[in-house]
Amino acid sequence: MEIVLPPEAPIQSLMNYVFENYRELKDFCEIEGKSKNDEECADCHHNSYFGRGNPKYECDNFRRVYLIRFLARQFEQTDFVIKEHVLGEIEGKTDLSAVSLGGGPAPEALALMNELSSCKGDYNLFFDNIDCEASWEAVYHDISLQFANYVVNVKLKTGFSCYNVDSYVSEKRYDIVFISWLLSDMHEQDSSNVLDTARNLAAPLGHILLIDRDESSLVSRISALVNAAQELTLVEHQSKYIHSIVEFPPDIKATFSPDMGCDFAYWVLQRSLDDIPF
Ligand SMILES: C[S@@+](CC[C@H](N)C(=O)[O-])C[C@H]1O[C@@H](n2cnc3c(N)ncnc32)[C@H](O)[C@@H]1O
């Protein structure tokens, strides 16, 4: 199937690539051991993602539906937060490092490349993606390297590590730590250490960008974690709505009902300047 869409922003080119390469779903569900059509997979994705606590990332069809439904939306939210709150401080920093906790396909990496591409000069971006679901690795590499083709002034060096972020420790320090749509995916009792992990990974004066659903109980839970966090300053906390400008082919729109926008909440935190013990 050839898709022809108007001249593109990088995210539109990337989504066209996703439509061409990730739209076909297998007609047999290995998890349930039965045949399934596209509509049933779309329903399964919706029910398991919003059914609290059991998204089936290990399923290839689930990951494909995730990309079609959420990648552009998550990209645009992250892109907005970077542009509004961080870009002024990182512009001109030739070697930049970032990590995503629970990055999955890591729209965070794409958004950061996109914003750097609007800046003067060349950039070396070192981006690490940490996720407990190993099956995202191939998808993440495919998508991030594809996107890197569209941004001429950013050289991407990237890695994927399969870890639980709850107990992740590293000696690396990053300019930006992303926690994007992760805490809504975790049970409350498992998420209490995530901000400690993020703080330990942030370089002095590095930023932590936390983005998630704008639901009052979740926002209260995250705000409580933020308020209790040591050595982190809250720079900004807001709720926002962004409608996606990406164009979807009609058949994909009809079958998968991509999420064209939603309210989201975000917190921008900054690590203090104090020395960090290694
Ligand atoms: C909703 S997705 C968000 C992915 C990406 N950040 C985005 O915004 O599109 C949540 C991701 O967190 C990962 N995840 C959930 N709990 C985790 C944990 N304890 N440690 C590491 N990754 C986790 C899942 O595997 C999934 O890829």
Render pLDDT for 81-119 as a digit per residue (tens, 0 to 9): 999 999 999 999 999 999 999 999 999 999 999 999 999
Q: Is residue 258 part of a domain?
A: yes
Q: Which of these, 242, 256, 246, lies nearest to 5 by C-alpha position?
A: 246
* Closest atom, ligand 1, to C-alpha of 71: 9
Instruction: Report the amino acid identity of residue 39.
Output: E
Strands 202-213 and 261-271, by their bridges, are antiparallel
Q: Is residue 107 part of a domain?
A: yes
d(CA 143, CA 15): 10
Strands 28-29 and 34-35, by their bridges, are antiparallel
Asked if 244 and 261 count as a contact pair (C-beta separation under 8 A), the reply is: yes
- pLDDT per residue over 3-26, tens digit each? 454 458 999 999 999 999 999 999
Say if ligand 1 is within 6 A of residue 170 CB: no
Q: Is residue 198 part of a domain?
A: yes
d(CA 115, CA 175): 15
Instruction: Report the amino acid identity of residue 164.
Output: N
pLDDT at 50: 78
Q: Is residue 25 part of a domain?
A: no
- pLDDT per residue over 47-65, tens digit each? 888 765 478 899 999 999 9
- The low-confidence residues of the chain, meaning pLDDT below 50, are 1, 3, 5-6, 53
Task: Look at the chain and count its residues.
Answer: 278
Ligand 1 centroid from CA 6, angstroms:
32
Q: Is residue 45 part of a domain?
A: no
* Closest atom, ligand 1, to C-alpha of 166: 19
- DSSP letter at 277 equals P
Mean pLDDT of the chain: 92
Say if ligand 1 is within 6 A of residue 5 CB: no
Decide: helix, strand or coil at residue 89.
helix
Q: Phi first, then psi: give them for residue 28, nearest 5 degrees.
A: -125, 125
Residue 138 tokens, joined: 């191939």
Asked if 97 and 177 count as a contact pair (C-beta separation under 8 A), the reply is: no
Domains identified in the chain, total number = 1
Asked if 216 and 263 count as a contact pair (C-beta separation under 8 A), the reply is: no
Q: Phi first, then psi: give them for residue 253, nearest 5 degrees.
A: -60, -45
Q: Phi first, then psi: give them for residue 173, nearest 5 degrees.
A: -125, 140
Q: Which residues lie closer than 8 Å to 204 by C-beta, 6 or more apart?
A: 173, 271, 272, 273, 274, 275, 276
- Among protein residues, the one with the nearest Cα to ligand 1's atom 16 is 186
Q: Which residues lie closer than 8 Å to 39 by C-beta, 6 or more apart?
A: 255
pLDDT at 260: 81
d(CA 52, CA 95): 39
Ligand 1 centroid from CA 7, angstroms:
32
Q: Is residue 215 part of a domain?
A: yes
Instruction: Please give the residue range of the domain that contains residue 135.
Output: 70-271
Say if ligand 1 is within 6 A of residue 234 CB: no
H or E element at residue 268 = strand 261-271
d(CA 269, CA 67): 28
Ligand 1 centroid from CA 185, angstroms:
7
Residue 217 tokens, joined: 């109980």
pLDDT at 85: 98
pLDDT at 6: 47
Q: Is residue 21 part of a domain?
A: no
Residue 129 tokens, joined: 């993606």
Say if ligand 1 is within 6 A of residue 74 CB: yes
Return the CATH number at 256: 3.40.50.150
